[in-house]
Amino acid sequence: MRFGQSGLLVMLAAVLSAPVAGAQEEQAAAAEAKAVVLEEKVADQPAPVPAAPEDKITSAEAEAVDPAGSKPLDDPLTCLARTIYWEAKGEGEAGMTAVAAVVMNRLADPAFPKTVCAVVTDGRENATCQFSWWCDGRPDDVEEPQAYAQAVEIARRALNQQIDDPTDGAVNFHLDTVHPDWADEFVRTATIGAHLFYRAPEVTAAE
Between residues 168 and 10, which one has the greater pLDDT?
168
The greatest distance separating any two alpha carbons of the chain, rounded to the nearest whole angstrom, comes to 77
Give the per-residue pLDDT at 93: 96
- Report how far residue 116's alpha carbon sits from residue 41's, in angstroms, rounded to the nearest whole number: 12
Distance CA 115, CA 27 (A): 22
pLDDT bucket at 13, cuts 50 / 70 / 90: very low
Q: What percent of the chain has pLDDT over 70?
A: 84
User: Residue 195: beta bridge partners?
Assistant: 175, 192
Domain extents in the chain: 32-163
pLDDT of residue 1: 44
pLDDT, position 86: 93
Q: Summarize pLDDT for 108-164 with one digit per residue, the tens.
A: 999 999 999 999 998 765 556 778 887 766 777 898 999 999 999 999 999 999 999
d(CA 80, CA 71): 12
Render pLDDT for 28-55 as a digit per residue (tens, 0 to 9).
999 999 999 999 999 978 788 888 999 9
Dihedral, CA of residue 10, residue 11, residue 16 and residue 22, to nearest 10: 100
Q: What is the DSSP string of 168-191?
A: SS--EEEETT---GGGGGSEEEEE
- pTM of the full predicted structure? 0.85
Helix H or strand E segment including 192: strand 187-192
User: Is it the case that residue 180 has pLDDT exceeding 50?
Assistant: yes
Is the CB of residue 42 less than 8 Å from the CB of residue 118?
A: no
